[in-house]
């Protein structure tokens, strides 16, 4: 299971939100480039970068910064946040992203995902399944749809999606532990590869998720607050 440090960028700073709320942002660094290089130096094999300004505005807002980050890293990144058009998909790849994460558009226009897969291949596309009480949230988690997560997963699998990022919004940024039941249920009901996010607190959480044979876990607040040591976690989980 791959352990992937998260770098959430808001107003050019590295922040962590509490349950996705922009009003509850904690700044951890004013240098996203240095933060990226730090996680790489500790053994990260991939970074998970979210353009929170992009999520809020509906189109990527920090591509120049992303390009500076990717030009200095030797490891790949996956990038999300406001990627809702073919133009923004192309721009994200041009900025150096290895994979892109699409959430809102998967709900609004599934054919868009199909088009992206046809153009770039299913290894390059991650669909975000952001859950709250079993339903999918969109537009930077500001809108809750009536679509059950299970329905989105099934539909996306039918159009060829290989990899899903599953987040329990109520756990995100809380350090209360991941929603193991949700991850287990999703992993059982889909053939796709699962990346789990939301609530990671200690290495034991990662060992539990690893036992489910999922593809990866996203580490955010636990790394920044020090409840998980990346080097130690990499040794134990791998």
CATH of the domain at 221: 3.20.20.70
Instruction: Give per-residue pLDDT as tens, 48-67.
Output: 999 999 999 999 999 999 99
205 is catalytic: no
Pairwise CA distance, residues 5 & 220, whole Å: 6
**Domain around 187:** 2-237
Q: What percent of the chain has pLDDT over 70?
A: 100
Catalytic residue from among 31, 53, 98, 130: 130
The number of folded domains in the chain is 1
Pairwise CA distance, residues 229 & 224, whole Å: 9
Task: Note the pTM of the prediction, 2 decimals.
Answer: 0.96
8 is catalytic: yes
Instruction: Give per-residue pLDDT as tens, 186-228.
Output: 999 899 999 999 999 999 999 999 999 999 999 999 999 999 9
Instruction: Give per-residue pLDDT as tens, 147-182.
Output: 889 999 999 999 999 999 999 999 988 999 999 999
Angle between helices 110-120 and 149-158 (to 10 degrees): 40
Say if residue 30's pLDDT is above 90: yes
């Amino acid at each position: 299971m791959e352990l992937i440090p998260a770098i959430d960028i808001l107003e050019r700073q590295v922040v962590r939100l509490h349950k996705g709320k922009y009003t509850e942002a904690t700044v951890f660094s004013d240098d996203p480039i240095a933060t990226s290089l730090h996680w790489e130096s500790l053994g990260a094999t991939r970074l998970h970068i979210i353009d929170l300004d992009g999520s809020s505005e509906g189109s990527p807002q920090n591509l120049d910064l992303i390009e500076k980050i990717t030009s200095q890293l030797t490891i790949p990144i996956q990038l999300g946040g406001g990627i809702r058009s073919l133009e923004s998909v192309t721009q994200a790849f041009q900025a150096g992203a290895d994979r892109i994460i699409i959430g809102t558009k998967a709900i609004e226009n599934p054919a868009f995902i199909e088009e992206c897969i046809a153009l770039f291949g299913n290894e390059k596309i991650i669909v975000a399944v952001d859950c709250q009480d079993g339903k999918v949230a969109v537009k930077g988690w500001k809108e809750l749809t009536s679509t059950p997560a299970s329905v989105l997963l099934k539909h996306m699998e039918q159009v060829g999606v290989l990899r899903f990022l599953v987040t329990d919004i109520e756990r995100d940024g809380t350090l209360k532990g991941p929603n193991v039941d949700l991850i287990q249920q999703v992993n059982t009901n889909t053939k796709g590869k699962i990346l789990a996010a939301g609530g990671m607190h200690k290495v034991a959480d990662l060992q539990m998720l690893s036992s489910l044979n999922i593809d990866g876990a996203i580490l955010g607040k636990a790394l920044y607050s020090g409840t998980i040591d990346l080097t130690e976690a990499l040794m134990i989980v791998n």
